[in-house]
Amino acid sequence: MSIPTTRFGRTGLVVSRLALGTMTFGLQTDEAVAQRILDKAVDAGINLIDTADVYPLGGDLSTTGRTEEILGRWLKGRRSQVVLATKAVGKVGPHSWNQGASRKHLVEAVEASLSRLGTDHIDLYQLHSDDANTPLDETLAALDDLVQSGKVRYIGVSNFLAYRLARALGKQEANRLARFVSVQPRYSLLFREIERELLPLAQEEGLAVIPYNPLAGGLLTGKHALGAPTEGTRFTLGKAAERYQDRYWHEREFATVAALKAAADEAGVSLTTAALAWVLANPVITAPLLGASSPEQLDATLAAAEFKLDPALKARFDEITADYRRGDATR
């Protein structure tokens, strides 16, 4: 298998067209399995690995940082092989300042992540979400300082509305600060709202786009049935279960998945591979984030890197999911 590479936005960095997400490591996936997933992904050609200081997703403050610790132990002797991305802003401690995008928190969060990851620099440091309670000027100046210090190579955002990202980019340009080079939004056949504003902004500004949930938390594998969610999946584990059920566990989504699966079956391809290939077919997308709770789950997603999505099947997928371009933005 050969995973193609691409430029990371308008930077000089070159990354694989598939990236590995790690939010299941340490809760849904134990360390031994996580290491096997990492080995398989890197052996297949993936060189961009994404994590966050609040992972594993679905845990609580007692598990905060566990995923970075697992990744840090795996990175020993391998640091030069990967582009390492992590995120901050989520709550990681008991105090009011242990979250958000204030200068105090970001400086402390970077140091904590560096320690857990066992490295002296983070290749891509991202704001996990927008913090409306902290002035953008404070956040952007703090991030610029982190870049200038060498502890962070590039900066990006996740879960930002287009207008807030545009405003931040304008401030960075006007004040000659380190510029955001990437955005990490939710994007899949079941969540296409970002096609209206965020993706056009990313294309115009030359931002890399590394979407998460390209398989809608696993719903687009077609393995789930409406009713009680399967134990041990993102729909049942920890605090994140309610969020995932609210996003995807509805009759409308299951009916859509059934229609997509029928179209994929007719074309002779697995829905998992075709759904991820659909994301990759969007020229604005840089590298979707793959999630896995076992190494075997990577087989169908890694196959998407070499799968050529038939234009007729893409058009059918577009038609089936057209309403998801105008979905409920609160999900």
**Where in the sequence numbering do the catalytic residues fall?**
55
Helix (H) or strand (E) holding 127: strand 122-127
Dihedral sign from CA coordinates of 41, 37, 280, 316:
positive
Give the separation between CA 48 and CA 38, rounded to whole angstroms: 11
Give the separation between CA 268 and CA 278, rounded to whole angstroms: 15
Q: How many CB atoms lie within 10 A of CB 240?
A: 19
The values of phi and psi at residue 46, to 5°, are -70, 130
Buried (b) or exposed (e) across 13-36, using 16+ Cβ within 10 A? bebbbbbbbbbbbbbbbebebbbb
Give the separation between CA 233 and CA 249, rounded to whole angstroms: 13
Half-sphere exposure of 255 (CA within 13 A, CB side): 6
| Helix (H/G/I), strand (E/B), else coil: 152 | strand
Of 199, 280, 198, 201, nearest to 5 (Cα)?
280
Instruction: Confirm if 249 and 235 have CB atoms less than 8 A apart.
Output: yes
Phi-psi region of 185 (alpha: psi -120 to 50; beta: other; left: phi over 0): beta
Of 316, 321, 313, nearest to 253 (Cα)?
321
CA-only gyration radius of the chain, Å: 19
Q: Are strands 14-16 and 5-7 parallel, antiparallel or unpaired?
A: antiparallel
